[in-house]
Amino acid sequence: MFPLNSHIFLKTAAWLRDHLIVLAILFLSLFTARPLLAISSNIHILEEPPFFSPNSLAVTSGTSLIWKNYTHEPHSIVSDDCGRLSDCSFDSGVLRPEERFSLPSLAPGRYPYHCGLHPFMRGLLTINPAPSPLVDI
């Protein structure tokens, strides 16, 4: 029994040693304002209202957003500022059924958007600034 326990202990110690850096990064990411691992939020495109679910989504800057088309029709994700500004915030182009559109990150602000093919499908993104880093006093 003792040799078996000792074997397990040595294996565990070796595993911890080999994964120390990964464990340290995960531990530190709990306490840093800017996450070291990417965070994403999903928005489902649906046949029925609210069409974009969640319809109004607030996230922290740096969060990537992923839309997936769960309907049997094509749709698109178009920022309302498209057409008014020379540079629009985002335009997915046509998203066929089962396709995804991901937006890596947006600057803080409010982004009303709609489907370019069905303008009655509307959604709102609110991108909040990331909290400032913790400072030691």
Q: Which helix H or strand E contains 7, and what residues bound it?
A: helix 2-18
Q: Which helix H or strand E contains 5, and what residues bound it?
A: helix 2-18
Does 43 interact with Cu ion (rule: CB under 5 A)? no
Kindly determine how many residues on this chain lie close enough to bind Cu ion according to the rule CB under 5 A.
5
Q: Quote the crossing angle between the two packed helices 2-18 and 20-29, to the nearest 10°.
A: 60
CB of 85 to Cu ion, least distance (A): 22
Does 96 interact with Cu ion (rule: CB under 5 A)? no
Does 114 interact with Cu ion (rule: CB under 5 A)? no
Applying CB under 5 A, the span of 27-35, 81-89, 113-121, 129-137 interacting with Cu ion comes to 113-121
Q: In angstroms, rounded to a whole number, what is the distance separating the alpha carbons of residues 80 and 121?
A: 12
Nearer to Cu ion (CB atom), residue 57 or residue 123: 123
**Would you tell me which residues interact with Cu ion (CB under 5 A)?**
75, 115, 117-118, 121
